[in-house]
Structure 1
Amino acid sequence: MLHVTDDERRARVGVRHGLARSLETPEAVTAAMTALHATEPATVYLSCWARSASFELADLDRALYTDRTLVKQLAMRRTLFVFPRELLPAVWPGASARVAATERARMTRDVVRAGLVTDGDAWLDQARTEVLALLASKPEGLQAADIRRAVPLMDVRVEARAGESWSASRVLVHLGLTADVVRGVNTGRWPTSRPRWTLMRDWLGAMPAPWAAEDGYRELIGRWLSTFGPGTEDDIVWWLGSTKSVVRTALAALEAVPVTLDRGETGWLLPDDIDETADPGPWVALLPILDPTVMGWKSRDFYLGPHRPHLFDRTGNAGTTAWANGRIVGCWTQNPSGEVRLHLLEEVAPAAREALESKATRLTKWLDGVRVPTGYASPAMRARG
């Protein structure tokens, strides 16, 4: 069986992820990464900045809101992503539908337990129907507050369990999962999210037919292998938020090739992707919170080393990271004036440190005084913030 070393995997990250070479457009960045994390709106912009030599805010705004070649869609693990538009029909029937079913079960149960209704399914179906009818007359979309006022049925606050509650926006989330609505034009500044919820058919102009779920999963897993491979079965199951059965079926259909990794695990590659990657040479990167490179695998030792407790929160969300030659060596924060500060967790070569400091200076200039808010600060960020 072919053996793939950690050094080879790190070289692949530099080349495939656009970190050791520049990618020209947000579409190219998104295609290279399969999808970009968008839970925090600033992450998408900063993920593109990190992979492009000349990225501007307007480049991504054009792709998201004018050309609509990139689209926000809730999918794997109930996470919001930006996908290439052509990938949506593969995402909807499997990754999104799976989360939609879980969301429906939780919501309909919670409203009954809270004593708001006796038939949770009927309540959700009616709320969805009323929202869709409202948006049908508003092709430009509406903000969540406007929808809530116009549809009193969904204007609720539900105490689900101790310390957890949800409100009207949960109905919009479910409609987004089922591809009925989409987060359209953002009415806030780029680091914030204030979308106009818009009918998906209005946003896209024409609704492409969803693929069969099995075909959609196969496409997603094939793209994951192209971006993140080699990875283990557990890596794919975690990233996809699905089952081992789904993953094994897709790997078989793709004729994926098993390889051994440095820790004795079995990884998988596409059959036309087994050649060794040329060494990209020295490279550094500053990646944002929840960047797809950091979040691409479940088993992260080959690039994370001993730094997991410092760079991830208790629920597994990644903070900012500083990279040198395929390994995470620290994080970055901003001071009150917006200056980017580098914080190393280990010693690096002087040339790497100088390159990282140069990246920090460049990012400070690009941000131009904007401080990026976050709800996912890692322990290392909090200790140095």
Structure 2
Amino acid sequence: MTTTARITWGAASARRLQRQFLASSARTGTPVADVVGAMLAAHAQVLSAAEVSVGIRSAEGVTRADVRAALWPGTAGAAGPPAAPGSSPATLVKTYGPRGTVHLLPAHDLPLWSAALTAVPAGTSPFPPAAQLTEEQARQVVAAIGDALDGTFLTIDELGEEVVARTGPWAGDLVMPAFQDMWPRWRQVVHRAGHAGALCFGPNRGRKVTYTRPPHFTPVTAREGLRALVRRYLHAYGPATPQHFAKWLAAPAGWAVRLYTELSAAGEIEEVDFEGAPAWVAAGDTVFPDEPARGVRLLPYFDAYVIAAQPRELLFPGAAHRRALAGGQAGNFPVLLVDGVAAGVWHQRRRGRRTTITVEPLGRLTARQERQLAAQADRVAAVLEAEAELVVGEVTVGPHA
């Protein structure tokens, strides 16, 4: 007779923080790509937030410059002109990841991510039938994007011209309402091109975003990719239910339940008791710390920990649920994390070489926690290559400000 392991929230939090380099930073010399791999991707819609997410987990001395060097080696960085791609291999790629949003991914994990993300069932198109791409047209556009970007950096307008030239005028029809404007039909599958390995982001050209093609790779099979992604997700954020996995991936819950059932029957994941309810971990991965999480961390917008760690009502207890979430959605406020749970919000404003970090705790901090908070503010500023000015008080800006 097997005994189901019983896991507490405190034990789960402590292990998650350890595995994401939030309990203690990565050792000196650990590549930033390995840090991103431990996070299972870093949300990068706002690149500076991703740089903080990665930097605070990395060894002392790692800054945003190290993240950009991993993304675009041989370039002047996100603010300068791009050099020719391929001068040296990138170890990070900025592309479309889970939930169809922009993430940093380790370059060596692209075969896994591509296979898994393209296997997630697509939702219903928000566009009327006359505006949609057929499946054949979508395949043509993705192939055209990859061909156009191979070995070069292009802005969105330059890329659009190349796509239309390679496919046909139908790809350029202005049928997509977007930001009080109309976008061409082909842009419906930009995220799909990212998932397929045909597109990723390059460094900005002045104020303009550029795109390029990541290094060529052969995806693993869809089954291999999904199996590996579930196991990695559970390694980083388990115990977790299929509903938690579906929410993190923006996938149908029923599909995730079937996937978990298949992996459980194959002995690749196993059920545990997590705070009195069934959840899953990777098979055999049932060792958890005896001591709960301790310490203070400042996590930026859409940090991987606050997005993926579940159940959310335990991560954002009491007043944190009202203050640190926006309509129940995590990530819109940078979070003060105390002993593994959300305990406040913060905001930073850069002026020249100085960044003012305003932190609003939701409870009283001990003297030790205040010292840790000051050290965290210094660390965030150092990642951003700035000097910190810490202010403890009310954060007056709204979500995602």
TM over 0.5: yes
Alpha-carbon distance in structure 2 between the residues aligned to 1:364 and 1:317: 23
The equivalent position to 2:204 in structure 1, one of 172, 183, 187, is: 187
The equivalent position to 1:334 in structure 2, one of 348, 355, 358, is: 348
Residue 207 (str. 1) matches residue 217 (str. 2) = yes
Alignment correspondent of 1:376: none
The equivalent position to 2:131 in structure 1, one of 111, 114, 120, is: 111
Structure 2 spans left out of the alignment, 5+ residues: 74-88, 389-394
Structure 1 counterpart SS, 2:229: helix
Alignment correspondent of 2:363: 346
Greater Cα offset, 346-355 or 152-161: 152-161
Alignment correspondent of 2:210: 196
Shift of 1:216: 0.9
The equivalent position to 2:96 in structure 1, one of 74, 82, 87, is: 74
The equivalent position to 1:22 in structure 2, one of 21, 25, 38, is: 25
TM-score, structure 2 as length reference? 0.77
Shift of 1:102: 4.2
Shift of 1:308: 2.3
Shift of 1:281: 6.5
- What letter matches 2:322 in structure 1? P
Alpha-carbon distance in structure 1 between the residues aligned to 2:283 and 2:136: 48
Identity within the alignment, %: 21
TM-score, structure 1 as length reference? 0.80
**Residue deviations 1:166-185 (CA, integer Å, cap 9, x gap):** 556444333223322222x2
Tell me if the contact between 2:52 and 2:383 (Cα under 8 Å) persists in the aligned partners: no
Alignment correspondent of 2:246: 237
The equivalent position to 2:295 in structure 1, one of 269, 283, 286, is: 283
* RMSD after superposition: 3.3
Alpha-carbon distance in structure 2 between the residues aligned to 1:91 and 1:383: 30
Alignment correspondent of 1:6: 9
The equivalent position to 2:270 in structure 1, one of 221, 242, 257, is: 257
Q: Which residues of 2 match residues 347-362 of structure 1 at below 5 A? A: 347-362=364-379
> CA 1:162–1:195 in structure 2 vs 1: closer, same or farther (change >3 Å)?
closer
> CA 1:256–1:98 in structure 2 vs 1: closer, same or farther (change >3 Å)?
closer
The equivalent position to 1:178 in structure 2, one of 196, 208, 212, is: 196
Alignment correspondent of 2:259: 246
Tell me if the contact between 1:25 and 1:55 (Cα under 8 Å) persists in the aligned partners: no
The equivalent position to 1:42 in structure 2, one of 27, 43, 48, is: 48
Give 1 or 2: higher helix fraction: 1
Structure 2 counterpart SS, 1:305: coil
Alignment correspondent of 1:227: 236
Tell me if the contact between 1:290 and 1:320 (Cα under 8 Å) persists in the aligned partners: yes
> CA 1:247–1:323 in structure 2 vs 1: closer, same or farther (change >3 Å)?
same
Alpha-carbon distance in structure 1 between the residues aligned to 2:400 and 2:149: 45
Tell me if the contact between 1:14 and 1:280 (Cα under 8 Å) persists in the aligned partners: no
**Residue deviations 1:267-313 (CA, integer Å, cap 9, x gap):** 21223321231537632111111111000135212322122232222
Structure 2 counterpart SS, 1:346: coil
Alpha-carbon distance in structure 1 between the residues aligned to 2:41 and 2:399: 30
Alpha-carbon distance in structure 1 between the residues aligned to 2:400 and 2:230: 37
Tell me if the contact between 1:226 and 1:270 (Cα under 8 Å) persists in the aligned partners: yes
Shift of 1:226: 0.8
Tell me if the contact between 1:311 and 1:331 (Cα under 8 Å) persists in the aligned partners: yes
Alpha-carbon distance in structure 1 between the residues aligned to 2:181 and 2:131: 13
Q: Which residues of 2 match residues 27-176 of structure 1 at below 5 A? A: 27-52=33-58, 53-66=60-73, 67-98=89-120, 101-102=122-123, 105-106=125-126, 109=129, 111=131, 120=134, 124=138, 127-128=141-142, 130-136=144-150, 139-151=151-163, 153=169, 154-159=171-176, 166-167=183-184, 169-176=187-194
Structure 1 spans left out of the alignment, 5+ residues: 113-118, 372-378
> CA 1:221–1:95 in structure 2 vs 1: closer, same or farther (change >3 Å)?
same
Alpha-carbon distance in structure 1 between the residues aligned to 2:304 and 2:130: 32
- What letter matches 1:65 in structure 2? W
- What letter matches 2:155 in structure 1? Q
- What letter matches 2:398 in structure 1? R
Alpha-carbon distance in structure 2 between the residues aligned to 1:50 and 1:311: 20
> CA 1:188–1:291 in structure 2 vs 1: closer, same or farther (change >3 Å)?
farther
Shift of 1:224: 0.7
Alignment correspondent of 2:285: 273
User: Could you list the runs of 4 or more consecutive aligned residues of structure 1 that deviate by over 6 angstroms after TM superposition?
Assistant: 161-165
> CA 1:110–1:50 in structure 2 vs 1: closer, same or farther (change >3 Å)?
farther
- What letter matches 1:343 in structure 2? E
Residues paired across the two proteins, number: 358
Alignment correspondent of 2:227: 218
> CA 1:383–1:240 in structure 2 vs 1: closer, same or farther (change >3 Å)?
closer
> CA 1:165–1:250 in structure 2 vs 1: closer, same or farther (change >3 Å)?
farther
Shift of 1:333: 0.6
Tell me if the contact between 2:110 and 2:197 (Cα under 8 Å) persists in the aligned partners: no
Shift of 1:126: 5.5
Tell me if the contact between 1:144 and 1:169 (Cα under 8 Å) persists in the aligned partners: no
Alpha-carbon distance in structure 2 between the residues aligned to 1:157 and 1:299: 42
Structure 1 counterpart SS, 2:308: coil
